Amino acid sequence: MSDRESLQQIKKEAEDRKLAEKAEADRRLADEQRTKQDRKALGRTKTAELKAYCDEVFAGFPVLDGIPISVAELESSTFHNVTSDGIGYVVLTIPFEAHMDTWPTTVPLLLCRHNGDQYEFFVGSSEKYSYPDGFTQFKELLLKTIGEMTLPQIRNYAAQVKEHIRFRR
């Protein structure tokens, strides 16, 4: 084989390697996208189960002084600095005017969802917490959190909501 033929062979092998590396990178990217979609689908499914549980247990429950909890879903919350990412949140709220003023809105007591391999939640205006254990343990945490809420805590959450809305105007 002449030097020229060797050079052509080396060049062809380099081009083939580059094509193979690009194909592998494209395959990895497609796998990552598929994994992300699978995780979001799992998150939506488990969050729907969480919503059904919250509807059954918390909806209408008088958290204190006979004020019933409402259960809803939301995609984003400026109050919690949460943007929509394809997996919503279950939110437990009470009417604002119940313990502060007659100014009508709702106070988020708790936001929660499943994302990836863990549960995520906010209590009142807190930072986001992650809970890696299973659904049974997470339900126990929700029961304890709501069951132990006090009027001063709720008034504090309400004042923070009011301040947040006033600030945004």
- pLDDT for 160 equals 82
Sheet bearing 89-95, strands edge to edge: 70-74, 89-95, 106-115, 118-123, 129-131
Three-state SS at 131: strand
Kindly report, residue by residue over 102-153, the tens digit of the pLDDT.
455 788 889 999 998 899 999 987 778 888 878 999 999 999 999 998 888 8
Q: What is the pLDDT of residue 144?
A: 93
| Element holding 75 (H helix, E strand) | none
Number of helices (H), then strands (E), in the chain: 3, 7
pTM of the model: 0.74
Average pLDDT, the chain: 85
What does the H/E/C string look like for 47-65?
HHHHHHHHHHHCCCCEEEC
Over the stretch 26-67, which tens digit does the pLDDT of each residue have? 788 877 777 778 888 999 999 999 999 999 999 999 887 788
Residues 6+ apart with CB under 8 A from 53: 139
